[in-house]
């Protein structure tokens, strides 16, 4: 495919262009095929770019935006009140085919609302879901939703499971193991929405493994874990905080005495690898699944290294052509699921049973 063009909302996040622009320029230098379009206050962006004289300007475009969406603004205000925001313009570049993906560290609710309005959802999808890979004892597990949908119906949880399974297949997992994150593994556990979603998934053409608790997730028992955005966001933020705390505690332990320093020196290569494997920065960047375009949400508080990982996530989604792959595999599964729920006899295009 041609070189990816990523549109960057340069005004988003807690740190704005002072963090996002340098991170973007470093990615541009590290990925020779990458092209970037920085969207925001052009004079400020140019001022920061000027501090990096080695930048390949042939692969960098700056698009001016008069407005920026604040981190605490209501989505309705972003939809109606700021037509010239950097976030909207970045999404419109994707819609118009001038970029293959959008990356923003801005207001999550506003990004979700604008993405749905500008890019639209794929057929059969009610609401997009935010997904990212989290580290486990085995292979990384896709977790969704991460906060875009705080309240979810059973049907939406089912759709998230299907989208997560398809995304895992795109990433190379032949038949992904899927589970619903719950407060217990017994059938009677969980709220009404989770139990109803389980009933739908038991009828689906997925490798559905039932309910899973948080510890089972980190043991790597499944490839896709599904929950509403309220649970997913708390789990993700708690995991990041725990990883940071463990890293700091270990470092302090090896500084307590001369013997501890000596032991720490011997263990340093292993500790560095463990820290690299678990650092939250490399898992920054959640893809919005279910849109007719690629959108990656960076953590609002992401620093330079973390934001670079969000750009890398977007380039990966572009390489896999994620929306098209989802569209090809998703629609029939969702149609079959709804038909099964009604008790219809669903057959594939060749006349054989669909599952």
Spans of all domains in the chain: 1-125+290-320, 126-281
User: Is-same-fold flag (1-125+290-320; 126-281)?
Assistant: yes
Distance CA 183, CA 53 (A): 54
CATH superfamily of 1-125+290-320: Isopropylmalate Dehydrogenase (3.40.718.10)
Relative to beta strand 129-134, strand 286-289 is: antiparallel
The CATH class of the 126-281 domain is alpha beta
Q: What is the pLDDT of residue 44?
A: 96
* Residue stretches of the chain with pLDDT short of 50: 346-355
pLDDT digits (tens, 9 = 90+) for 58-88: 999 999 999 999 988 888 888 888 999 999 9
Residue 121 near residue 293 (C-beta atoms within 8 A): no
Distance CA 72, CA 78 (A): 11
Helices (H), the chain: 17-30, 42-49, 75-81, 86-95, 108-119, 154-170, 192-202, 214-218, 229-253, 258-278, 304-320, 322-342
Q: What torsion, rounded to 10 degrees, do the Cα atoms 71, 130, 326, 37 define?
A: 30
Q: 291: burial class by Cβ within 10 Å (0-12, 13-18, 19+)?
A: buried
Instruction: State pTM to two decimals.
Output: 0.85
Distance CA 254, CA 347 (A): 63
């Amino acid at each position: 495919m041609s070189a990816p063009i990523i549109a960057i909302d340069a005004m988003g996040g807690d740190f704005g262009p002072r963090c996002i622009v340098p991170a973007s320029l470093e990615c541009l230098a590290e990925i020779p095929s990458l092209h970037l379009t920085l969207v925001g206050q052009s004079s400020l962006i140019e001022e920061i770019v000027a501090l990096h004289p080695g930048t390949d300007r042939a692969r960098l475009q700056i698009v001016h935006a008069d407005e920026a969406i604040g981190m605490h603004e209501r989505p309705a205000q972003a939809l109606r009140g700021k037509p010239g925001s950097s976030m909207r313009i970045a999404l419109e570049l994707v819609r118009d085919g001038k970029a293959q993906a959008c990356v923003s560290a801005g207001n999550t609710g506003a990004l979700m609302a604008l993405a749905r309005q500008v890019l639209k959802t794929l057929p059969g999808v009610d609401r997009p879901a935010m997904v990212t890979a989290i580290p486990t004892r085995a292979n990384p597990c896709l977790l969704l939703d991460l906060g875009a949908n705080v309240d979810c119906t059973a049907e939406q949880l089912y759709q998230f499971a299907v989208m997560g399974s398809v995304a895992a297949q795109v990433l190379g997992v032949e038949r992904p193991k899927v589970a619903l994150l719950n407060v217990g593994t017994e059938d009677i556990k969980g709220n009404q929405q989770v139990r109803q979603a389980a009933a739908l998934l038991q009828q689906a053409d997925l490798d559905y493994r039932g309910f899973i608790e948080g510890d089972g997730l980190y043991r790597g028992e499944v490839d896709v874990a599904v929950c509403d955005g309220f649970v997913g966001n708390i789990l993700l933020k708690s995991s990041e905080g725990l990883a940071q705390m463990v890293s700091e505690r270990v470092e302090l332990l090896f500084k307590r005495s001369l013997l501890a320093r000596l032991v720490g020196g011997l263990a340093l290569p292993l500790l560095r690898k463990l820290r690299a494997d678990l650092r939250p920065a490399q898992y920054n960047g959640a893809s919005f699944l279910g849109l007719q375009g690629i959108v990656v949400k960076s953590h609002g508080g992401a620093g330079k290294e973390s934001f670079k990982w969000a750009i890398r996530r977007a380039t990966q989604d572009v390489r896999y052509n994620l929306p098209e792959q989802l569209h090809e595999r998703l629609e029939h599964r969702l149609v079959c699921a709804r038909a099964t729920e009604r008790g219809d006899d669903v057959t594939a295009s060749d006349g054989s049973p669909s599952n």
